[in-house]
Amino acid sequence: MHIHPKPTKSHQPKKKLGYLHLYTGAGKGKTSAALGVLLRAAGQGHRVLMIQFLKGHKDAGEFLAFQKLGSNIEIVQFGRADLLSLDALQAADAYFTKQGLDYARQAMRSKQRPDVLILDEITSAVHYGLLPIEELVDFLDNRHRETEVVLTGAEAHPALFNLADLVTVMQPAKHYFNYVNFAPRLGIEH
C-alpha cells in the first residue's frame, strides 16, 4: 500500500470551488471530460451551466440529457445548427461566440451564479479568430473566484495553459474517425 505524504500548508487543496480546468488537444474526449465534471457536480447539488460554442444541434445527446437530469443543470448553445466544419465559419459564428461569452458574464453576476461553468469549445472559437484571446483572458481574470470553470476545445492558446490550474491534453493514438465511411453515431459522438 502506497501512503501519500500529508500536503504542506502551501499545497493544501482548496476547500471551495474556483479552479480553472483546460481540456484540449486533437483527441476525442474534451467535451466528455467536461460532461463528467457536470455530472459529478450536479450529483452533489451544485448548479452547473454549460455554454456550448460552435454547436447548435438541439438533438445532441448531452443537450437532450440535461433536460432529464435536474433543474440545477443548464446547457445553452451558441452556434449554427448547420455548422458541419470549422473550415466553413461565417460572420454569424463570431456573433454567436460573443453572445455566448456575454451570457457567461451575465451568469457570473447573477444571484443564481453557477457553481460550475463549462465553456465548451471556447478554445476553438479563439483559435479560429472568432473571439480575441484578450477577451477570454479578461473574463477569466474577472470571474467569480468560487466558481469552478472548465474550458474545452482543440488548439488552446498558450495563455490558457498559463492560467489553468489543471490542463489535460487529449492526443489520439488510434481513432476510428479515420475509418473509411465512418459517420458519427447518436449517443456516442453526437
Domain span at residue 144 reads 20-83+90-168
For residue 118, the cross-strand partners are: 50, 150
Q: How distant, in Å, are the alpha carbons of 54, 65, 127, 145, 164 from that of 154?
A: 12, 24, 8, 25, 15
pLDDT tens digits, 83-142 = 767 777 889 999 999 999 999 999 999 999 999 999 999 999 999 999 999 999 999 999
Asked if residue 38 is part of any domain, the answer here is yes
DSSP count for the chain of H helices, then E strands: 6, 6
pLDDT confidence bin for 15, thresholds 50/70/90: low
pLDDT tens digits, 75-94: 999 998 887 677 778 899 99
**Joined grid coordinates for residue 124:** 476553438
State in Å, rounded, how far the first CA of the chain is from the last one: 41
What pLDDT digit, counting tens, does each position of 138-190 carry?
A: 999 999 999 999 999 999 999 999 999 999 999 988 877 777 788 877 667 66
Measured CA to CA in angstroms, residue 175 lies from 16, 30, 66, 162, 179 at distances of: 37, 14, 27, 29, 8
Residue 61 lies in a domain: yes
| Residue 80 grid cell | 449554427
Q: Would 63 be classed as within a structural domain? A: yes
Q: Is residue 174 part of a domain?
A: no
- The answer to whether the beta carbons of residues 65 and 39 sit under 8 Å apart is no
User: Domains in the chain: how many in total?
Assistant: 1
The C-alpha atoms of residue 132 and residue 55 are separated, in whole angstroms, by: 19
Residue 161, domain CATH? 3.40.50.300
Chain position carrying cell 488552446: 156
- This prediction has a pTM of 0.85
- Give a yes or no: residue 118 inside a domain: yes
Number of CB atoms found within 10 A of residue 17's CB: 17
Residue 100 lies inside a defined structural domain of this protein: yes
Instruction: Give domain status of residue 190, yes or no.
Output: no
Task: Tell whether 1 is covered by a domain.
Answer: no
Please give the distance of CA 116 from its chain centroid, rounded to a whole number. 10
